[in-house]
Amino acid sequence: MTANKPSLPIVENFSRRAAVKGGFATLGAASFVAAISPLRHAAQNSSAGEFMQNHYTELTPEQKSDVLARLESEAKENYGADVTIGDDRPIPGTKFVYAINLSVCNGNGKCVEACHKENNHDRATNQSYIRVLEMPVGTMDMEQGSTTYTGIVPKDGKFYLPVQCQQCDEPPCVDVCPVKATWKEEDGIVVVDYNWCIGCRYCEAACPYHARRFNWKKPEVPAEEINPDQSYLSNRIRPVGVVEKCTYCLHRTRRGKLPACLEACPTGARVFGNILDKDSNIRWILENKRVYILKEELGTKPAFFYYFD
């Protein structure tokens, strides 16, 4: 998105330490210290290896291998879990797109729970990348929805709007990151290098869909509940003091599986696939249904669609 693009300092790829130093120089002492205050806390818990690590896109294959081994070892040490952390890259010729049939979704929230478990979210805060909004019939303005509904669903006069990262083709969250810790990959998925993020939360503020989450505390997940099938840019347990988000379960989808939220949906409301595949269900829906995107007026160009039967 080029209109009204915020003017923020961009720090080119040096070490994370240089990024912090560069931000200090360009933002000014007081504002930068305030912006990265969570990082100061997190840095106390960082290993030397983590602090000196290069940006993900700058790592050689050997360095990546060392980083993944270090993270697996830290998962064992900190959580008592044997995990495997992969480096899942986009599949050439793939552009992932999601759609939800709002005539079918009944607000049961199974997708929210599945995301919570699949992505190793903090148990105490019951975190998830998905929010299901209970909406008054007659509007697609998500700001009119409620996430705190209770009782039996569906209710008369309401419909249910699940919202997660829309993997925007013009993502404002990427534009505002001062250290390029978040970017869009070739298959359309917007990712975060959790070891490069300085926790300033600019991206969280810039996201019009409230799709980013900040780790205020060390995530707590019992060893026996940890999903051991992890990926560096996806569901490995994120450190305290960084921002995280939905990645369309890239640790699954880049391995040919479906997102966990889709598999958990008991109503069949969710459709996911490669829009470049002419025979895919998702392609058929976009060609044959009247689809909606949220906050179209902002020009974010979501890769996430909604439709009614």
Binding site for ligand SF4 (CB under 6 A): 165-168, 171-173, 176-177, 179, 181-182, 190, 192, 197-203, 207, 209, 211-212, 243, 245, 300
- Round to whole Å and give the CA distance between 198 and 239: 11
| Nearest C-alpha neighbor of 228 from the set 119, 125, 131 | 119
What's the min distance (Å) between Cβ of 288 and ligand SF4? 25
Q: What is the four-CA torsion angle of 47, 196, 165, 210, rounded to 10 degrees?
A: 90
Burial (0-12, 13-18, 19+ Cβ within 10 Å), 163: buried
Quote the least distance from Cβ 154 to ligand SF4, whole Å.
Answer: 25
β-strand pairing of 84-86 with 229-231: parallel
Q: How far is the CB of 172 from ligand SF4 (least distance, A)?
A: 5
Cite the beta strand spans of 216-294 per DSSP E: 229-231, 243-245, 270-274, 291-292
Of 71 and 203, the one with the shorter C-beta distance to ligand SF4 is 203
Least Cβ distance, residue 246 to ligand SF4 (angstroms): 7
**Residue closer to ligand SF4, measured from CB, 120 or 300:** 300
Cβ nearer to ligand SF4, comparing 38 with 107 = 38
- Give the nearer residue to ligand SF4 in terms of CB position, either 85 or 176: 176
Considering beta carbons, is residue 207 or 226 the nearer one to ligand SF4? Answer: 207
- To ligand SF4, the closest distance from the beta carbon of 78 in angstroms equals 21
Exposure pattern of 170-182 as b/e (b: 16+ CB <10 Å)?
A: ebbbbbbbbbbbb
